[in-house]
Amino acid sequence: MAVAPFPQPASDPFALLDASSAPTLVCDAQGLRFANTALRQLLGREAPAGTPLAGLDWWVGEGGQALQAYLAQAWAGEADTSGVELRLHGADGRARAFEFSARPWAVGRDRVLVLTGRDLQDIHTSQETLLELSQLLHQIMENDPVPAFVLDERGRVSYWNAACERLTGVPSRDMMGATEAWRAFYEAPRPLLADLVMDGRVDRVGLEIYGTGLKRSASDPRAWQFEGYFPNLGGRGRWLQVTAAPLQDEGGRVVGAIETLQDVSDRRIAEDEVRRHRAELEDMVAARTAELLVTHHELDAFMANAPVGIVASRGGRITRANRTFHHMFGLDEGGPGGLGARRFFFSRAEYRDFLRTARAALRDGDSFTHEVHLRCADGSSLWVQCIAYLSDAIDGVPQVWWLLQDRTGVMRAQRELVGNYRALKEVNQRLAEAQNQLIQSEKMASLGQLAAGLAHEINNPLGFVCSNLVSMRRYALGLIALVRGHEQGAAPQELARLRHAADVDYVLQDLPQLLDQSDEGLARVKKIILDLKDFSRVDQSDWQDADLNAGLDSTLNMAMHELKYKARVVKAYGEIPRVHCLAGQLNQVFMNLVVNAAQAIEQDGEIVVRTGVGAHEGVDGVWVEVQDNGMGMTPEVQRRVFEPFFTTKPVGQGTGLGLSLSFSIIKKHEGHIELDSTPGVGTRFRVWVPVAGPQGAGRPLH
């Protein structure tokens, strides 16, 4: 802005003030004497010399009165040294604060006041900024969630924020100005980190107090920090990260210290937890590793010592094999690694078939068991039982474990066993046949013993039937001659003679008797023949439900002809159910007992045959007893009666097989036989058989 030159004499003694950059004016009691360039430029207008001081209002505005009063004091020599504050309205239209101070000055005889202005605007602005800043700072600190406090240079608390109140439970009003800030944290006095930072002892004393955790802050080398546990804080104690930094003025002088206390308990707990977890994890890993190692060793030992061949294979190649496998197939130790499985088979076709069946089983997750001929290194054959199962796949290729057992010996033994079994079965079969034959021959032998009696029994009726026949033939001839005489019309005397010769009256009386007698005789023979046929039948060996009382009757009938000369037979049958049995064979047992009884009797003896029902070990059964009062048996004989071929009878009378065969017949029925005998008194045999027959009866057992 162009400023018009101030009209002033060249000799103006105040012209020098134009050199000052501070707005300056000179006045005397009348008014303005001089305004320097700096002032004029500031105001942007002229103030003609001689303007009365009252007229200065125009540039000082509402400050005019204060200026007047100040000038008046200045004239009187009482002016305040600090001057007067005025607001000047500048050329740019903005008001600016100035402090004008007056200094009396004498120019010749004149006395003037020189007023020099100092621009206050910058100071004001910075003061306001400072105030705002400190308020902001206060707010920041107050609202900061991190607890913080400040000590002044004498160690007194000059600041204690809300977070600090919350952490320590001590209100700010109790702490402000206090020198014993440690009380909020510790039970006994100790320098706080802020104290140490402030008095510069942190390097020396700090480590003693706070230990090696104390470190310089990475972000501010003047600040120090440590992490510590404060058992008195927050009820259960807190972990705090404590940072203290010195506060310095512009000259670098320490005027206080700030300490922040960041609660890191959660982090510490989390860290501890993590540490604990990691330790646990490490322990677990260590334990697992040890276990694995043991397992590994055990597996190695197991494989090495296993008495079966163990092989692992992948993709048709052997990856691992134990010692037994080497021995089995005659391979060098360390030999089969990488060997193809094909070489252990005699033909490609066998290998293919084997693989097909194995894969089918393994694919379904089953294990696979198979017996197969395998080929040894020397080309010989081994009969091997393979058990295979799939283990986890490595790189997608499944691994198969094979257990191989040499079954060559077992197979041989098995074949022998099968052969032996067949032979045994044949022998058994032959034995059964032989036994049956024996039973049959014994039957015939006992028949032989009965033969004399039977012959007599048959002879007797046969004798009188024969003699009757002779009589009847004679009668018939006489009668025939008489009938012929009648037919041929013979003379009456001739007829009378024939009638007399035929003895018709006697014949008519005798003939029916003869016929009846003959009938009865022949019936007796027929019955004996029937009984004989019945007894000697070989085919009555089927299991059937038979009435043992009836069987005993027919047996006794057969024997009776032999017995009746020696003993009386007493029957004492009980009421018994039908028994599932081989009736023909049981009859043979009874026959032998009865014949033995008769043979033990000299004469006039008695044989009692009893039957009844009785359970044995919970099984319903029927018993048959044959008791005699014959010569009895010594204990020695009793012990041996069931031995085959044991007999005390002369050749021709005894075979020694009767009781032995009886014993096996009764065993076949799952029954039993017992005897009770006293020499000179008699013998009693008792046979017991189950009503339902043996378990599994119905199958041919012989």
Ligand X SMILES: Nc1ncnc2c1ncn2[C@@H]1O[C@H](COP(=O)(O)OP(=O)(O)O)[C@@H](O)[C@H]1O
Q: Please give the residue ranges that form the binding site for ligand X (CB under 6 A).
A: 592, 596-597, 600, 628, 630-633, 637, 641, 646-649, 654-656, 658-660, 683
Q: How far apart are CA 345 and CA 474, in angstroms?
A: 101
Could you list the residues that contact Mg ion (CB under 5 A)?
Answer: 592, 596, 658
Tell the smallest beta-carbon distance from residue 628 to ligand X (Å). Answer: 5
Binding at 655: pick from ligand X, Mg ion, none (beta carbon under 5-8 Å per type): ligand X
658 or 694: whose CB is closer to ligand X? 658
Tell the smallest beta-carbon distance from residue 439 to ligand X (Å). Answer: 13
Strand order in the sheet with 24-27: 32-35, 24-27, 110-119, 95-107, 84-89
Tell the smallest beta-carbon distance from residue 610 to ligand X (Å). Answer: 15
Q: How many distinct helices (H) and strands (E) make up the chain?
A: 18, 23
228 closest CA partner among 244, 239, 237, 236: 239
161 or 660: whose CB is closer to ligand X? 660
The amino acid present at 558, given as its one-letter code, is M
Count CB-CB contacts under 10 A for residue 607: 25
Binding at 638: pick from Mg ion, ligand X, none (beta carbon under 5-8 Å per type): none
141 or 450: whose CB is closer to Mg ion? 450
Tell the smallest beta-carbon distance from residue 307 to ligand X (Å). Answer: 55
Beta bridge partners of 26: 34, 114
233 or 595: whose CB is closer to Mg ion? 595
CB-based contact 60:39 (threshold 8 Å): no
SS (H, E, C) 46-76: CCCCCCEHHHHHHHHHHHHHHHHHHHHHHHC
383 or 646: whose CB is closer to ligand X? 646
Binding at 629: pick from Mg ion, ligand X, none (beta carbon under 5-8 Å per type): none
Q: How far apart are CA 121 and CA 553, in angstroms?
A: 158
Binding at 442: pick from Mg ion, ligand X, none (beta carbon under 5-8 Å per type): none
Binding at 647: pick from Mg ion, ligand X, none (beta carbon under 5-8 Å per type): ligand X
60 or 591: whose CB is closer to ligand X? 591
192 or 673: whose CB is closer to ligand X? 673
Tell the smallest beta-carbon distance from residue 535 to Mg ion (Å). Answer: 15
Binding at 121: pick from Mg ion, ligand X, none (beta carbon under 5-8 Å per type): none
Long-range CB contacts (< 8 A, 24+ apart) of 458-467?
A: 458/525, 458/528, 460/521, 461/520, 461/521, 461/522, 461/524, 461/525, 462/521, 462/525, 464/517, 464/518, 464/521, 465/517, 465/518, 465/521, 465/522
Residue 412, helix vs strand vs coil? helix
Binding at 646: pick from ligand X, Mg ion, none (beta carbon under 5-8 Å per type): ligand X
36 or 596: whose CB is closer to ligand X? 596
Tell the smallest beta-carbon distance from residue 428 to ligand X (Å). Answer: 24
Q: How far apart are CA 609 and CA 628, in angstroms?
A: 9
136 or 681: whose CB is closer to ligand X? 681
DSSP letter for 489, please: T
Residue 275, helix vs strand vs coil? helix
Binding at 263: pick from Mg ion, ligand X, none (beta carbon under 5-8 Å per type): none
Tell the smallest beta-carbon distance from residue 443 to ligand X (Å). Answer: 12
Residue 691, helix vs strand vs coil? coil
Tell the smallest beta-carbon distance from residue 685 to ligand X (Å). Answer: 7
Tell the smallest beta-carbon distance from residue 660 to ligand X (Å). Answer: 6
Binding at 628: pick from Mg ion, ligand X, none (beta carbon under 5-8 Å per type): ligand X
Phi, psi of 689 (to 5 degrees): -135, 145
Tokens of 86: 């005025």
């942190």: which residue's tokens? Answer: 202
Binding at 609: pick from Mg ion, ligand X, none (beta carbon under 5-8 Å per type): none
CB-based contact 669:694 (threshold 8 Å): yes
Tell the smallest beta-carbon distance from residue 555 to ligand X (Å). Answer: 15
Nearest position to ligand X, beta carbon: 658
60 or 559: whose CB is closer to ligand X? 559
